[in-house]
Amino acid sequence: MTTRTESVPTPAGEARITWHPATAGKARLVLAVSHGAGGGIEARDLRALAAVLPARGITVALVEQPWRVAGKKVAAAPKVLDEGWRGLWPALTRPGPPVVAGGRSAGARVACRTAAELGAAGVLALAFPLHPPGRPEKSRAEELLGAGRPTLVVQGGRDPFGRPEEFPEPAGDDPYELVAVEHGDHGFAVPKRADRTQEQTLDVITGAVAGWLGRLSQ
């Protein structure tokens, strides 16, 4: 599979998109996913999606926010993250297929906050940080419930930023779906004593996302 990297100027600085084009005919959708505040597009779940989905007719665009491209170690403020995402959105829509906005952790929050205004076809929230660890009273559920688009949440069963059972009941015109990843932490790592391997865990994630995207594109 041939990948392509594109630099995109935004009001927040230069962003970068690594394209993994659909290999199974013409792309039905573009899945644009960004990283969290503590890492980049090398995250295991993002790499797994980029490896699996193109063969199912989905182009995957892995997005690096300007702060990451600039080599900074601390993520920008939420307002600046949103500004960068808005600035690169035209590059994501240029290929033509509908674009699903996604991300992991902080990237998922950005996707939720901007999806409706940008006209995203849906939202993929990987490891949504429902609250800071140990601070359930600092809930960010409003961002998730306010996405205004069909939304899939994929959440680790032992994620300190919010376990699946902590999430609110889906509501609204486009109630979100939630897939619980047994034993997974915030990065979907599973302990060696778990009854499933790391590879099997990633298969659960890619299978759930592929199925949801398939229904979304019908």
- 119-172 residue pLDDT tens: 999 999 999 999 999 999 999 999 999 999 999 999 999 999 999 999 999 877
Query: CA-CA distances (angstroms) from residue 182 to 134, 163, 164, 204?
Result: 20, 10, 10, 9
Q: Give the residue-averaged pLDDT of 80-92.
A: 97
Mean pLDDT of the chain: 95
CB 69 within 8 A of CB 39: no
Q: Please write the tens of the pLDDT for every residue from 178-211.
A: 999 999 999 999 999 999 999 999 999 999 999 9
Q: What is the pLDDT, as a whole number, of residue 26? A: 87
Q: What is the pLDDT, as a whole number, of residue 25? A: 77
Q: Please write the tens of the pLDDT for every residue from 9-43.
A: 999 999 999 999 999 778 999 999 999 998 999 99
SS3 200: helix
Q: Which helix (H) or strand (E) holds 201?
A: helix 198-216
101 strand-pairing partners: 32, 123
Q: What is the pLDDT, as a whole number, of residue 1? A: 62
Tokens found for residue 2: 């041939």
Q: Indicate the pLDDT class of residue 217, thresholds 50, 70 and 90.
A: confident
Q: What is the pLDDT, as a whole number, of residue 172? A: 74
Burial class (CB in 10 A: 0-12, 13-18, 19+), 126: buried
Burial pattern 36-60, b for ≥16 Cβ within 10 A else e, equals bbeeebebbbbebbbebbbebbbbb
Q: Give the residue-averaged pLDDT of 107-123.
A: 97
How many CA within 13 A on the CB side of residue 14?
7
